[in-house]
Structure 1
Amino acid sequence: MSLPELPKRAIGIDVGGTGIKGGIVNLRKGSLSGKRVRIPTPKPATPQAVAGVIGEILTELLSREKAPALDELAVGVTVPAIVISNEVLTAPNIDDSWIGCRTTELLKDLPGRTFTLNDADAAGLAEARFGAGAHRDGTVMTVTLGTGVGTAIIHDGVLVPNSELGHIEFEGTVPAERIVSAAARERLEMPWDEYGELLRRYLKHLERIQPVSTFIIGGGISKRSEDFLPFVTGLRAEVMPAQLTNNAGIVGAGLYAAEQSRLADFRNSEQ
């Protein structure tokens, strides 16, 4: 028996440090149907406070004409943390009260089925399926450069979750994201050519840990890729900028939720 076809639409919600964004995801095109909704992230960003904002965004999106039907509604939610089986295990860039949070229980009163994943994984999944990595075989790694560094590994279209290679030690005893992130470049006032050379060394380091066929460079800084990617040379893997930019997390979250929902149905039918 094969997996049932995905629905036409799902909802993705991307929880960030300053804003929580959501949208209706067209799962045929990998794009948003209509404008996304953004609400500032509450302070402190406790699970209960964030759940309230997620509920507001979901209510707005479900009121739209192109909203998914409730009987097939899948909602994907990203968080900046390691997530296994919808349980948050770390909180490096979010309130510590998230550690141990079971998001299925947290969001149980919301309509539809909810599924949670790491934010960088969501962006990487979207890029691999619909963006720069579409139709590419082998292993693709998306490296998201922002406040920190997020990584996502996709092999032949399948996500290998929670790689978190932005936290590895690099050229010393500090996590890589402290010197490689886009925020670090601004803080250190690093010229683009120097930043490109630093990124080249970091990607070479990643190649030794996890060989890939393609690196996709994401995050807002990818809009300036012509300023630094020309200096990222000498790698075995091809290096290219992301295409979905700020919508990648939303698209990936919606896609992940739809696939997990169908997979759950398939497993239940086999029992």
Structure 2
Amino acid sequence: MKVLGIDIGGSAFKGAPVDTKTGRLLAERHRVEIKSPCSLRAGVAAAREIARHFQWKGPVGIGFPGVIQDGRIGAVGNLGDVWVGQSGATLFRRATGCPVRLVNDADAAGLAEMRFGAGRGRKGTVILLTFGTGIGSALFYDGQLVPNAELGHIPWRGKPFERYAAASVRKRARLDWPEWAQRVNVYFATVERLFSPQLIIIGGGVSKKSDKFLKFIRAHARVVPARHQNDAGIVGAAMTWEQ
């Protein structure tokens, strides 16, 4: 099955056609920059541009950075509260002219990694954490997804942990890799106390630079980079049509 996968982040919409049987992108991904928070008009226009870029007429799967229940958007992080309560499936269907399914963006990345990547065949508790503008998370037990597990919002010193350890914080605070890894270690210690995972998969843009920070990571669980790296969200969004 060929599906257009779109991964929405805090700084861009990224999309590409996906072969959902193999997890392969069928074309070079197309990226549309946005500002965060993002207006409804700008977000809809970005999705429309991606669909037009590929001249797409088939099904579309979208990974959205917020809680998703039956195509409707719940709590939203960096994209902004204007999206809360919207029927995302309806908005993006009108924008693209195609049938659309929505899923939480980190859940999408997790689905891709559990089927085609670092989590394939793994039992027990597996957590995927995407480090970018914020911290997205996907929680699995024996291969089954627990939807909308927003572990980046675990409180730390009165604020969500993602404001302390996201990849965007490393850049903004000008932290070197060991300094940022120390913050991630504090976060991992909390996540491990709560969920006792056997495997932690690191996704998002930093997964392409795992050689710079993994050697500084300390955790009881095995910690590995996402095999699909920053394309996992696109692949997993497309996979919603097989769920």
TM-score higher than 0.5: yes
Aligned position for 1:115: 101
Distance 1:46 1:198, change over 3 A: closer
Q: Deviations over 1:48-73 (max 9, x none)?
A: 4322332232233245xxxxxx6xx4
User: 1: distance between equivalents of 2:35 and 2:67?
Assistant: 21
* Aligned-residue offset at 1:152: 0.9
Matches within 5 A, 1:259-270: 259-260=242-243
Match of 1:46 in 2: 39
Q: Which has the higher strand share?
A: 2
Task: Name the SS of the counterpart of 2:107 in structure 1.
Answer: helix
- Distance change (3 Å), C-alpha of 1:54 and 1:229: same
Residue identity opposite 2:6 in structure 1: I
Partner residue, 1:222:
207
AA at the equivalent of 1:95: G
Question: TM-score of the superposition, structure 1-length normalised?
Answer: 0.81
Q: Is residue 47–residue 101 contact of structure 1 (8 Å, CA) maintained in 2?
A: no
- Of residues 99-108 and 160-169 in structure 1, the stretch that sits farther from structure 2 once superposed is 99-108
Pick from 113, 125, 138 the counterpart of residue 111 of structure 2: 125
Q: d(CA) in 2 for partners of 1:242 and 1:123?
A: 9
Aligned-CA RMSD value: 2.1
* Structure 1 letter corresponding to 2:186: R
- Cα offset for 1:177? 0.9
Deviation string for 1:228-263 (max 9, x for gaps)?
A: 22222341x21111121221111110012x124xxx
Shift of 1:111: 4.1
In the other structure, the counterpart of 2:22 is 29
Contact map agreement 2:129 2:136 (CA 8 A) in 1: yes
Tell me the TM-score normalised to structure 2 length.
0.90
**8 Å contact kept, 1:42–1:50:** no
Does the 8 Å contact 2:78/2:133 carry over to 1? no
3-state DSSP class of the match of 1:82?
strand
Structure 1 position 214, deviation (Å): 0.5
What's 1:207 paired with? Answer: 192
Deviation of the 1:116 alpha carbon: 1.0
Whole-angstrom distance in 2 between the partners of 1:40 and 1:92: 17
Q: For 1:1-271, list aligned pairs within 5 A.
A: 8-41=1-34, 45-62=38-55, 73-109=58-94, 110-170=96-156, 172-235=157-220, 237-256=221-240, 258-260=241-243
Q: Distance in 1 between matches of 2:2 and 2:122?
A: 24
Q: What amino acid does structure 2 have at the position aligned with 1:138?
A: G
Residue type at the aligned position of 1:238: R
Partner Cα distance (1:18, 1:124) in 2: 20
Corresponding residue pairs, total: 242
* CA separation of 1:107 and 1:221: change in aligned 2, threshold 3 A: closer
Q: Is the 8 A contact 2:188 2:219 kept in 1?
A: no
Question: Would the aligned equivalents of 1:48 and 1:106 in 2 still touch at CA under 8 Å?
Answer: no
Aligned amino acid, residue 46 of structure 2: V
Distance (Å, rounded) in 2 between the aligned partners of 1:190 and 1:45? 27
1:58-109 per-position Cα deviation (integer Å, ceiling 9, x unaligned):
233245xxxxxx6xx4311122111111111123211322111012322343
Structure 1 CA distance for aligned equivalents of residues 181 and 13 of structure 2 = 30
Fraction of identical pairs, as percent:
39
Partner of 1:66: none
Deviation of the 1:32 alpha carbon: 0.3
Between the aligned partners of 1:35 and 1:190, the Cα distance in structure 2 is 32
CA distance in 2, matches of 1:30, 1:175: 33
Q: Cα deviation per residue 1:129-161 (whole Å; 9 max; x = unaligned)?
A: 212112222221111111211111123333211
Deviation at 1:43, TM superposition (A): 8.1
Measured in 1, the distance between the counterparts of 2:172 and 2:36 equals 24
